[in-house]
Amino acid sequence: SYAIDMINYFVTYKENEKDESVPPYLEKFLTHCVETMSQPSEDFRIKESIMLAIGHLAPHILPYESLHAGVENILKDHIFPELQGDNDFLKARALWVYGEMPIFVKDSHHAVEAVSNTYKCLLDEC
């Protein structure tokens, strides 16, 4: 499981400090996040907590170019819709996530739409 991979990674981190490969837990955790956000849930806190985790992982994902496209897909498919959603708490969290991860948005159409929705939220039109 990704939890065991993460523990093993941290235990051996000092030994492999110069290893620049993607930590094994990171890809598995992001996959778990996508799977969980893809499942409908009555409890918005599940999606919010995953969005929080993804936002906090931004500086750890940044060095690994191989993860950038996957993160942009997460932003497009799971975070962006919350900018237009009805739940104000998830909308606020989505705005925060985009603030933490602007470097991962490479698709110009996606970037324009995200900025447009951000302005709408700032003007209280969302």
Measured distance between the N- and C-terminal CA atoms of the chain, rounded to whole angstroms: 39
In this predicted structure, what is the pLDDT of residue 46? 95
> What is the token pair recorded at 59?
């500086």
> What is the token pair recorded at 98?
């985009």
Residue 113 pLDDT more than 60? yes
Comparing 6-10, 33-37, 113-117, the range with the smallest average pLDDT is 6-10
Residue with tokens 């110069």: 18
Residue 7 pLDDT more than 80? no
Instruction: State the pTM of this model.
Output: 0.81
Residue 66 pLDDT more than 70? yes
User: Structural domain boundaries of the chain?
Assistant: 2-122
Between the CA of residue 71 and those of 34, 86, 114, what are the distances in Å?
A: 10, 24, 15
Q: Angle, to 10 degrees, between the axis of helix 24-38 and the axis of helix 44-61?
A: 150
In this predicted structure, what is the pLDDT of residue 105? 84
